Amino acid sequence: MHNDPGLQPERTDLAWRRTSFTLITAACIFLRWVPHHGWFAGTLVAASLLVALGIALTQRRRYHHHASGIGGAVMTANIRGTAAIAGSVVVLAGLGIYTVLYLPLQR
């Protein structure tokens, strides 16, 4: 499909997979907070898993886009998708910090 000795689409694909696995790991950490912080921590679990699922569902399309861009010598950055993931991670991190610092512990 492309002649890239550095296999850039594969490296990008692996980076997106690592990002989705990191979000799944964050969801597992948030899951441990549910007994202590209640439903709010449950929403963090759901949000993390939804973002990871979004990455997984769009991964094949991104790979083909990058591979065909290399083959046609025309590459465009996926600024919107990258910004959406970055924004999601920042929001989840902020909500996680808020949960730890400001939500009372349930006994």
Task: Give the pLDDT of residue 7.
Answer: 65
Which of 101, 98, 107, 96 lies closest to 30 in space, CA to CA?
Answer: 96
Kindly report the CA angle at 100 between 94 and 103, in degrees rounded to 5? 100
pLDDT in tens, 49-87: 999 999 888 887 776 666 666 666 667 777 888 899 999
Q: CA-CA distances (angstroms) from residue 79 to 2, 39, 51, 72, 84? A: 22, 33, 16, 20, 8
pLDDT in tens, 15-42: 889 999 999 999 999 999 999 999 999 9
- Flag whether the pTM goes above 0.85: no
Helix pair 79-102, 39-71: axis angle to 10 deg: 160
Q: Do 46 and 31 meet the contact criterion of CB atoms below 8 Å apart? A: no
